[in-house]
Amino acid sequence: SICTRARTRSGLAGGTAPSKRLPRTMRAMFKMAAGRLSSTSALGGMRMAAVCAAGGAAAGTGAVVACSGSKRASATAAQAAGQRRWDGQVLVDVCVVPLGVGVSVRKEVTEVERILRRWEKEGKVKCMLHGYGTNVSGHWDDVMAAIREVHETLHDDLGVTRITSSLRMGTRIDKAQTIEDKLNAVEEGLVKNKGPGAARS
């Protein structure tokens, strides 16, 4: 019959019961349709074939639905266990090196720091200059936008032909930590704990 051929094409023939291949919702639809439609009439057979085909198509998507559900369940379980989701905060150590401008890069580095400090003044990032770069912290989008402006300004306004920038970045979800927090943790350790290095000084 039409229904038998449709069930064969959809993978429901050969001794495999529809209840083992279809998602729960499709099994309910299949049973309801089978109870209402008459398989003895041609019209009933055509309608049953449509139901069988739809059921076979849905069976192929069952794994995807189950996978999505398991991911959502895992995320919910992680939140219930007290794990925080990443809020986009990042700490970046950036070193911008303009190439082809001569031995001294003081002018270019000064401009880089001026841009980053303006972003800090606007409350978008926090920055701290050190001997070989700058620590920049804030939301990922703001930090990357500030670094992009650095490249644009050096290229377009100062005429730097080539720039190479090195970035080291860190993110965490267990707690919020600023640049000052990291420095203070080391300073406190130097005061409280006298390690092996203290004897050699």
Q: pLDDT digit string (tens) for 28-52?
A: 665 665 555 444 444 444 444 444 4
Pair of tokens at residue 53: 């085909």
Q: How many CB atoms lie within 10 A of CB 138?
A: 22
Q: Do residues 108 and 150 touch, judged by C-beta distance below 8 A?
A: no
User: What is the chain's alpha carbon radius of gyration, rounded to the nearest angstrom?
Assistant: 32
Residue whose token pair is 């070193």: 95
Greater model confidence, 65 or 107 = 107
Residue 158 carries which DSSP code?
A: S
Question: Which residue has better confidence, 40 or 102?
Answer: 102
Instruction: Tell me how far apart the alpha carbons of residues 52 and 63 are, in angstroms, rounded to a whole number.
Output: 19
Alpha helices in the chain (DSSP H): 2-9, 18-21, 24-36, 42-80, 106-121, 140-156, 179-192, 196-200
Largest CA distance in the chain: 98
Q: How far apart are CA 151 and CA 167, in angstroms?
A: 13
Structure confidence at residue 147 (pLDDT): 98
Sheet with 89-99, side-by-side order of all strands: 125-130, 133-139, 89-99, 162-170
Q: pLDDT: is 179 or 154 the higher one?
A: 154
